[in-house]
Amino acid sequence: MKTRRVTAGVASVLALSLGAAACGGGGDDNDGNGGNGKKDAALTSIVNPSSKKGGTVTYEHSDVPDSLDPGNTYYGWVQNFSRLYGRTLTTFKPAAGKEGLEVVPDLAESLGKSSPDAKTWTYKLRAGVKFQDGTPVTSKDVKYAIERSNFAPEALSNGPTYFKSYLEGGDKYQGPYKDKSAEGIKSIETPDDRTIVFKLKQPFADFDYLATFSQTAPVPKAKDNGAKYVQNIVSSGPYQFQSYEEGRGATLVRNPQWDAKTDPIRKALPDKVTIKFKVNQVTIDNDLLSNKITADAAGTGVAPQTQPKVLAGKNAGQTDSSYAGATQYIALNLKVAPFDNIHCRKAVQWGLDKQSVLDAMGGTPKGDVATTLLPPSVNGYTKFDTYATEGHKGNAAKAKEELKACGKPNGFNTILTARSDRPAEVAQATAVQASLKKIGINVEIKQFPAGKYFSNFAGVPSYVHENKLGMLSMAWGADWPTGYGFLDQIVNGAAIKPSGGNNLMELDDPKINKALTDAIANTDDAARTKAWGEIDKMVLDNASVVPVVYRKNLLLRPQSATNVTVTQAYLGMYDYLLMSSSK
C-alpha cells in the first residue's frame, strides 16, 4: 500500500479470541503533560496514557490525500485516519506493540466464518449501528460500498481491486453507476440486514485481512454521488465531518448517533479532530517541536534537514524510530525505452550506489539498504541479494557490461520521478542521479505532488509512456502482513489500471501472475509463506524493481499528545484511532 502493514502469521491472527477487541490504552489518568520523554517508548507502549475526554487533536500534512473517501483511497495514513468516521468489517486492534497487528471484529460481530475450502466467507454485523443521520447500517450498505470502490474506475480509481479480482463474476460486473439493477454483484449476498456473504472464485486464506480495508466501510446508496461523495461523507464512526475543503483540510466533530455499546474498540476521547493540508514539511516539524499540533498525518517522519536538530536537541526523547514495514524502490517501466531491454534494467541494478542513496535520505535513522522487494518484517521475506556489490556501493564494471549488452555502451538518458512534498524522496532521486551518472546514465528528475502522483501521473500508463518516465520513485508497504498483501498490487499484471495504479513497472509476467494466484489459493500456511520469497526472487530476476531502502520513520510526538503508540499495522505511523490531546 501507499503506506501499510507488517507481520504476524495468518494462522495466529485468525485464531485470535473473538473477545480480544478491547482497546489497549493503559489505565493511567493524567493531564497529558508527563511521560513523554523517552526515546522509542511508543514502539512498544502507549506514551502519555490518558482517559480524559475532550480537547482537539490537530493534524497537518505536507500535501493532499488521494481522497478521504474510504472507498477511493490507497494511502495508508488515510486508511488509519478514516477509522475515525468509517467502521469496517474488521480492523487492526488499537493497541501497543504486537497487539496492534491483531485483526479484530469492528462492524462485524466476529471474524469471518469460512467454508472449509476458504471460498465462502460470512460476516454478521453488530446490532444497533447507525449512520450519522440515524438510519441503521445494513449489510446492503457494506455490499454497496464494495461495489462502488472496486467496480467503478470511471469515478473511483485510487483504491485496490482485490474484491473485483476474487469475487465470482468480478470480471463481468460493471459497477453500480453502470449497472442499475437492484441486485448488484451476485457473489455478495445479503440474506438479511445483518448478514453478508462473499462467494469467491478461488480459495483466499487472507480474507479477514481484506475485510480491514476502508472499502468495507458502509455507504448509503441514496447518499452516494461518485467522486463527489468525499464532500459529504456519511459517518458510521464516532466522528462526522463538520467541514471539508478540497485541498485545504477538514474538521471532524462527534457523531451523536455513534454508540459506544456497539463499538468495543474505540474510546473516542477528543471532542474535535482537525487536519490541514499543503503545509511545508519543515513547518510541520517545527509545529511539532513547538507543541502547536498533535501529529504529522503523513506518518513518514521528519524531514532530513530537521533530523539532526531533533536527534541532537532536547526533543530527542520525544522521537520514535519505527520500522515502516515498507520498501523504498525504483520502478523501471517495461514499456518505456530503454527499459524494455532487460540488460538496460540490469545496468541500473549493478550501477546504483545504494549506500549513497540511504545517506542522502538521512542515513540509518531512515532505514537500511534493501536487496529484496519484501521487507524483513513481512511474513514470507527471504534474505537474498541478486545484485550484490561490496558495501552496496555498486559495481561499475558489471553495469558497463550490461550497457554493452543492451546496445547502449555509452549509457543513455532517462527520467526519474519523485514526489515534490517528500524531501527524503527528492534527496533519494538526487543521489540516484549522481550515482548513475558515473556509468553514463543521465537522469533527469521530474517532481509531482504526492496527492495526485498515482491518479494523474506515475500511476497512469498513458501519461508515463507519453512523457517517457522510465524510472519511477515508489514506496510500498504491505496491504496486510503477508507476502501476498505486499506483492499482489505491485507486481501482478492484473493490478495494471488506466489510472491510480501501483504496478508502476507495468510488470505482467505470466509466471509471476500464476505463482501469486497459486500461492494465495494454497491453504498450507508454510507452503504459502515459502512461495512469497520465491516470487520475490522472480521479480528481482526480471530486474524491473530496484530495491533501495527498507524504510524507517523518525516520528516526533509533542508534549500535548496523549495515548501515543506506533502501529505496525499502518506502516509504523502513530495509531490515529487512539491518539488524543491534552490541549
The pLDDT confidence band at residue 36, using thresholds 50, 70 and 90, is low
Does position 14 have pLDDT exceeding 60, yes or no? Answer: no
Q: Parse the chain into domains and list their residue ranges.
A: 10-279+554-581, 328-553
Give the mean model confidence (pLDDT) for residues 187-191: 98
Would the pLDDT of 20 be above 80?
Answer: no
Residue labelled with grid coordinates 452516494: 224
pTM to 2 decimal places: 0.79
Return the closest-CA partner of residue 229 out of 67, 118, 387.
67
| In the predicted structure, residue 5 carries a pLDDT above the cut 90 | no
71-103: pLDDT as tens digits: 999 999 999 999 999 999 999 999 999 899 899
| Nearby residues of 166 by Cβ (< 8 Å), 6 or more positions away | 200, 201, 202, 204
Q: Which CATH number fits domain 10-279+554-581: 2.30.110.10, 3.40.190.10, 3.30.200.20, 3.30.70.1140?
A: 3.40.190.10
> At residue 8, does pLDDT exceed 50?
no
Is the pLDDT score of 12 beyond 50? no
Predicted confidence at residue 521, as pLDDT, reads 86
CATH number for the domain formed by residue range(s) 328-553: 3.10.105.10
Same fold, 10-279+554-581 and 328-553: no
* Average pLDDT score over the chain: 92
Of 325-329, 391-395, 578-582, the one with minimum mean pLDDT is 325-329
Rg for the chain, CA atoms, rounded: 23
Q: Is residue 33 predicted with pLDDT exceeding 70?
A: no
**Exposed/middle/buried for residue 505 (C-beta within 10 Å: 0-12, 13-18, 19+):** buried
For the CA atoms of 290, 296, 301, 303, what is the dihedral angle to 10 degrees? Answer: -60
> For residue 299, which amino acid is it?
G
**Number of CB atoms found within 10 A of residue 29's CB:** 10
Q: pLDDT of 329-379, one tens digit each? A: 999 999 999 999 999 999 999 999 999 999 998 888 889 999 999 998 788
Query: Does the CA dihedral 364-369-374-377 come out positive or negative?
Result: negative
